[in-house]
Structure formats: C-alpha cells, structure tokens
Amino acid sequence: MNLSRIVITGIGLTAPGASDPGSFRQNLLKGRSGITQFETRYVGAVPAGVCQFDELKYQKRQNLRRGTRAGSIAIYCANEALRDAALSIAAIGPSRAGIYLGVTEHGNVETENEIASFHQYNNDLKCWSHFYNPRTVANNPAGEVSLNLGITGPHYTIGAACAAGNLGLIQGLQMLQLGIVDVALAGGISESIHNFGIFAGFKSQGALASHADPTKASRPLDRDRNGIVISEGGCVCTLERLESARARNARIYGEIAGYAVNSDATDMVLPNPERQAECMNLALANAKLDASEIDIISTHATGTKAGDAQECQAVRNVFSASKRVHVNNTKCFIGHAMGAAGTLELAGNLPSFADGFVHPTINVDNLDPECEVPNLTRSGAVRRERIDHILNNSSGMLGINSTVIVKRFGD
C-alpha cells in the first residue's frame, strides 16, 4: 500500500525560556537554561519550568477565565503553528482540519484549585465553578482549540504519559494518511507545574530534583542527578500530505519517515531497556533505515537514576556500532514538560537540518558511566557537514515507549 508522505510545515511552541521556535533554538545552541525557582502549593519553592507567553494574543480575557491553563497553552501553540505554516482554517475548510494533542493527564489542576477554594469558603458548594466539568474532561485542551479556531473536524487528546507528544504526531500522521483530514494540528501540551500533586508524588518517590541553582537542577545523564524538574509547555506541529504542501509551495521543516510505539509490560515506573531498544528498531524498520543512517538521537532521559541508565543501555544496544550518530538531551534545558516533552524536544532538533548543528547537552559535569552513549554532545554545539535523520525517543509510566524519526526533506 502506498501511503502519503507526511511533512511538517509549521511549528508553534511555548517552553521555559522561549515562546517561538527561533528563540528556543538559540537557547539550546547557546546553552541557556529556562529553569527558574517556582512556589507551589504545600510543597514550597522548587526548580521548575515556567512558560511566559502572550495568553491574550489569540483569545479574549473572558475566554481565558473560562478555560484552563492547558487550553490556553494549546490555543497559543495551535495558532502559532498555523501562522508559521501560512495557513488559515478558512482556506483549509473547518471540517478538513483535525486536532490531536498528547497529554500526560488533565483535570488535576482544576480539581485541586476547586478543592482549595471549597475549603476556603467552609465547604460551600456555591463556590464550586459551573465550568468545572468542561474544564476537566480529558479532551479539554483539544476542545478549547476547536472552539477558538472554529475547527469542526476531529479533536481529541491522547493520554500516553510522557510519550504523549510523540503519540500526538503519530495520530495526526495516521489521520492524514487515512484521508480523514487535510491538515493535522498535532503535538503535546502540559500544565503540570500547576498541580501540586505531581511535585508531591515525585518527592515521595525520591525523584524530585533539587539544587541550590535552579538552572543546574535538571541534569540527565550526570552522575549527580537527583530527579526530575517538572515543567509546563506545549508544542503543536502543522502536518500536511506532501502533495498539498508542494501545491502551495510551503516551507517544509522535515518529513516524518517512521515511527513505533510499544509497551514494556513489566513495571509501573521502571523502564525496560529491551523493549525500548525494540521500539527504536521497529521505528527504523518502519522508516526503512539502518541504525548507521541516524544522525541525531534525542533522548528521553529525565534525570532519574534508573530511568536514564536504562534508556542509555537501550541506545547502546541499537547504536553501539554507529560512527555517524550524535546523542543529545533537551530536558537539561527546559525540565520535563510531560505530555509536551516529545514534541518540544523534536522541535528543538529540527533546525539541525538547516543549520547543521547538534545542540549540546548541558549540566553533564560528571557523566555517569552507566549513561555512556555514542558521541554525547557535552561541550557546546557540534557542527556537522550534513544532517539527514533525527530519531526522537519518548517513554512514560506504565511502560509506554515511542520513537519518531524525521528526515531532511528531499525527493
């Protein structure tokens, strides 16, 4: 079966320290962390990734008050992705666009806020928001985008833990190849820092990062890493079939060459390196590529002791013989943006096709021997003569793994 080739023609994002792709890329190339100190309910001051974007650029204050933080992030990123692709819903046709957004979870922030207010007012139900139900349904972030843009095609979220950003892209690609839509707004969204429970949960696991300097708190692969820096963020990509993009002379960031998703089925939290290696091999086979043809591996590594070591073992299993590959990590700059992580990390690496650089991995002052991987970029950006293929890894709790491979666009 000849499936349509799917390309990325627009990117909209907000990340800690940047709210457009160009600024985000510059931060990565120059080694600038976006992590700051953040005060959260009951837990206190913690290092976290906080986004600063213009919330009123694409929605009115009244809609902002009715909606959610995740919805606000999603609306900003989706509009930016369309603008970047030089597309409008009127030109596409409202029923021919779809919205596919990965989320780690949704609704916890709203529930915690309502309970806090409920207790403040002596458990009086009159203070409970009548917007609570639409705010907490799982499809909320995608639904808010649908309302904002007037999109009448499919909209939904994909719950896939921290692999969700990759799953949003995969779902968008599949819907395009099935002919269900002509344009897919696909990616991932996270509002996690506004949920104190996630900080408390990681703290109770001994997996919440701490450091006197918040910019040094997120240190995946480093021997002295001590946990995850939680972040909010979002990244939405405009996906189109190649023939449509060509017909309108669109700028193309890259072509999705292959992908894979699998499950560990072994533990709720601890990754399985055999299954992670299997996922990468499945994606390579789907893309009809050999491991020796990959130029950049964007690691999922979050800063936990076991998780980082397990992923690195998987990378070594697949790429130990590769002389061409370089490995980097983006969470060291922006923390772990949960459902948005995979798409944000891919967006940070996509400019490599144009500028020829592999962005560095910061805060690896003492590389953990268990995290040795081929050509880890540590001492500044690495210039390559040509970069053709990027492999993007994302994994999540309950043992879900995902790999997306994007190639330089060309005939």
Range of the domain at 38: 7-247
- The contacts of residue 329 (CB under 8 Å, 6+ apart) are 220, 221, 298, 299, 301, 361
Helices (H) and strands (E) in the chain, counts: 15, 15
Out of 219, 247, 275, pick the residue that ends a domain.
Answer: 247
Q: How far is CA 361 from CA 32, 318, 337, 378, 387, in A?
A: 11, 21, 17, 5, 18
**∠ CA 248-249-253 to the nearest 5 degrees?**
115
How wide is the angle at C-alpha 355 spanned by C-alphas 289 and 4, nearest 5°?
40
Domain assignment present for 252: no
- Residue 92 in any domain: the answer is yes
pLDDT of residue 411: 60
Residues 265 and 401 in one domain: yes
| CATH number for the domain that contains residue 371 | 3.40.47.10
Same domain, 281 and 224: no
Can you tell me the distance from the alpha carbon of 108 to that of 73, in angstroms, rounded to the nearest whole number? 16
- Answer yes or no: are the C-beta atoms of 390 and 246 closer than 8 Å: no
Per-residue pLDDT at 1: 66
Tell me the C-alpha distance between 409 and 254, whole Å.
5
* Termini Cα distance of the chain: 19
- Shared domain for 94 and 207, answered yes or no, is yes
Q: Are strands 230-231 and 44-49 parallel, antiparallel or unpaired?
A: parallel
Strands 183-190 and 97-103: parallel
Predicted local distance difference test score (pLDDT) of residue 271: 93
Q: Are residues 237 and 268 in the same domain?
A: no
Residue-wise pLDDT tens digits, 248-270: 999 999 999 999 999 999 999 99
Q: Are both 55 and 125 inside the same structural domain?
A: yes
12 and 148 co-located in one domain? yes
Query: From edge to edge, which strands make up the β-sheet containing 6-14?
Result: 155-159, 97-103, 183-190, 233-241, 6-14, 254-263, 400-407, 389-396, 296-299, 326-329
Q: Counting beta carbons within 10 angstroms of the beta carbon of residue 137, is it exposed (0 to 12), middle (13 to 18) or buried (19 or more)? A: exposed
Please tell me whether residues 228 and 271 are part of one structural domain. Answer: no
Is 2 a domain residue? Answer: no
pLDDT of residue 384: 96
Same domain, 236 and 130: yes
Same-domain status, 276 and 225: no
* Residue ending a domain, choose from 222, 247, 272: 247
Same domain? For 231 and 266 the reply is: no
pLDDT for res 121: 85
Write out residues in the chain with pLDDT < 50, as ranges. none
Residue 1 forms part of a structural domain: no
Indicate if 301 and 219 belong to the same structural domain: no
Residues 242 and 353 in one domain: no
